[in-house]
């Protein structure tokens, strides 16, 4: 679905990630993990033109990204950033921005656009907040708005950079459910996650990054067995299985 071939990218001509090769499959959740500064966000940014790619190619459904228009690409790939600018704008208007790639002359949102936004706001539980201004919301509520904006695009691929940021524990778990639901709908989800237990739980595959490179790609089981987490994070990964048969991970120094 989405493939990165030998990608080197960074900022102001300084490469941050190097020789990245990875393919994200349709109907699967891929987690990207790694220590702070290892290049996880940069990898997602490279896909959506938010940093400079100096080498390599991004393919979407077998087509080179540079052969597609930005708008066409944006209709298929949405991106939840880690940092956001705050305008004096209402929740409803902000979520409508997720429909931006669909706007054509005379630049008016259609009934369909509004319906998609309503659905997205319902999905993340912020419909009652739609007339509130973003600046009046808590960090967690805002995070849901940005998430709804990404969902409103109804794209095939979702790139989520730390989507659990600011969310309370209840909604963190709901978010994992939401990702699983997107997967059931045949969407491709790529998510940077700090919580390794969540990554192990939700993903079909995990890419481990360190110092700008992908050092391992595998299923959660393969990643656990490889001890790569221990090496990269300098911790000891331990696990136990709960009564429901789910494996949980915790870490010791």
Shortest Å distance, C-beta 67 to ligand ADP: 26
Q: Is 38 in the site for ligand ADP (CB under 6 A)?
A: yes
Question: In this chain, which of 1, 24, 34, 228 binds ligand ADP, going by CB under 6 A?
Answer: 34
Dist. CA 66–CA 58, nearest whole Å: 8
Q: Is 214 in the site for ligand ADP (CB under 6 A)?
A: no
Which residue shows structure tokens 């459910």? Answer: 177
Closer to ligand ADP by CB, 17 or 94: give it.
17
Q: Using alpha carbons, select from 17, 162, 138 the residue that is nearest to residue 80.
A: 162
The greatest distance separating any two alpha carbons of the chain, rounded to the nearest whole angstrom, comes to: 58
Which residue shows structure tokens 């990554």? Answer: 199
Q: Is 125 in the site for ligand ADP (CB under 6 A)?
A: no
Closer to ligand ADP by CB, 40 or 216: give it.
40
Give whole-number Cα distances, 188 to 1, 107, 232, 241, in Å: 8, 29, 26, 28
Question: In this chain, which of 41, 78, 203, 224 binds ligand ADP, going by CB under 6 A?
Answer: 41
DSSP 8-state assignment for residue 22: E
Shortest Å distance, C-beta 36 to ligand ADP: 5
Q: Is 160 in the site for ligand ADP (CB under 6 A)?
A: no
Shortest Å distance, C-beta 125 to ligand ADP: 27
Dist. CA 127–CA 163, nearest whole Å: 19
Binding footprint of ligand ADP on the chain (CB under 6 A): 11, 16, 34, 36-42
């Amino acid at each position: 679905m989405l493939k990165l071939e030998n990608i080197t990218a960074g900022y102001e001509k300084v490469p941050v990630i190097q020789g990245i090769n990875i393919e994200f499959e349709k109907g699967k959740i891929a987690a990207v993990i790694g220590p702070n500064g290892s290049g996880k966000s940069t990898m997602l940014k490279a896909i959506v033109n938010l940093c400079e790619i100096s080498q390599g190619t991004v393919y979407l459904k077998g087509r080179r990204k540079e052969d597609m228009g930005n708008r066409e690409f944006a209709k298929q790939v949405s991106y939840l950033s880690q940092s956001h600018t705050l305008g004096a704008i209402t929740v409803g208007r902000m979520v409508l921005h997720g429909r931006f790639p669909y706007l054509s002359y005379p630049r008016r949102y259609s009934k369909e656009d509004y319906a998609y936004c309503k659905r997205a706001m319902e999905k993340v539980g912020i419909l009652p907040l739609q007339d509130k201004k973003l600046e009046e919301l808590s960090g967690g509520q805002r995070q849901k708005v940005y998430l709804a904006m990404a969902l409103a695009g109804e794209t095939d691929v979702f790139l989520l950079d730390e989507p659990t940021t600011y969310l309370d524990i209840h909604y963190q778990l709901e978010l994992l459910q939401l990702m699983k639901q997107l997967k059931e709908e045949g969407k491709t989800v790529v998510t940077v996650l700090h919580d390794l237990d969540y990554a192990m739980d939700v993903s079909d595959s995990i890419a481990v990054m360190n110092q700008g490179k992908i050092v391992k790609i595998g299923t959660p089981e393969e990643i656990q067995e490889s001890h790569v987490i221990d090496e990269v994070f300098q911790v000891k990964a331990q696990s136990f299985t709960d009564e429901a048969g789910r494996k949980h991970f915790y870490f010791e120094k």
